[in-house]
Amino acid sequence: MRAAQAAGLLLLVAALWRGWLEVTGNFHEVRAGLLYRSAQLSPERLDREITAHGIRSVLNLRGADPAAGWWRGEVAVTERRGVTHADLALDAWSEPDPERLARLMELIDTLPRPLLIHCQSGADRSGLASALFLARAAQATEFQAEWQLSFFYGHVSMPTAKAWPMDRTWEALEPALGYEGS
């Protein structure tokens, strides 16, 4: 009985945390003055974060979608504020092909900082991109980089999870990034 109660409490806490991340836009400072990550923000919230953190570029991992109001709003804010905007379509449910992965790393390396990286929920694609940023640009430890792909940000690191390809991609890249892998 206690095990069932503990499991139920754990599920409740996990659901509340996931809900909190959605309410807050899953916005986090990864490295002050260098990198921030989030879910898709409203144009008003994006404008506030640009001001608050001096963001100079936004990397949208959902891909360009001129028919979507969220995309038009984001582009309007970045244009009005003089912030570089880049789009790269990544799918959280499949491993990126080598060309797309190379493009992601090129954007991570070259976009003006501070950089805001976002996807829809800020958990999976943003987690992989943030881990790569930390590994390439911030000389982070393996643990610090891998933490970006954790439940703290809403990512579920389990082989049965839909976004497991983000974990597989990270693990495959660890040796090239100078990490042993775990």
Number of domains in the chain: 1
Task: Tell me, yes or no, whether 25 lies in a domain.
Answer: yes
Q: What is the pLDDT of residues 72-123, one digit of tens each?
A: 999 999 999 999 999 999 999 999 999 999 999 999 999 999 999 999 999 9
Q: Which domain holds residue 145?
A: 15-177
Q: What is the pLDDT of residues 125-164, one digit of tens each?
A: 999 999 999 999 888 999 999 999 999 999 888 888 899 9
Task: Tell me, yes or no, whether 1 lies in a domain.
Answer: no
Task: Tell me, yes or no, whether 2 lies in a domain.
Answer: no
The answer to whether 173 and 146 have CB atoms below 8 angstroms apart is: no
The CATH number for 131's domain is 3.90.190.10
Closest to 14 (Cα-Cα) out of 123, 120, 166, 168: 123
State the pTM of this model.
Answer: 0.89
Task: Tell me, yes or no, whether 44 lies in a domain.
Answer: yes
Question: Which amino acid is present at 28?
Answer: H
DSSP 131-173: HHHHHHHS---HHHHHGGGSGGGT---STTSTTHHHHHHHHHH
Task: Tell me, yes or no, whether 9 lies in a domain.
Answer: no
Please state the separation of Cα 101 from the chain's center in Å: 14
Task: Tell me, yes or no, whether 71 lies in a domain.
Answer: yes
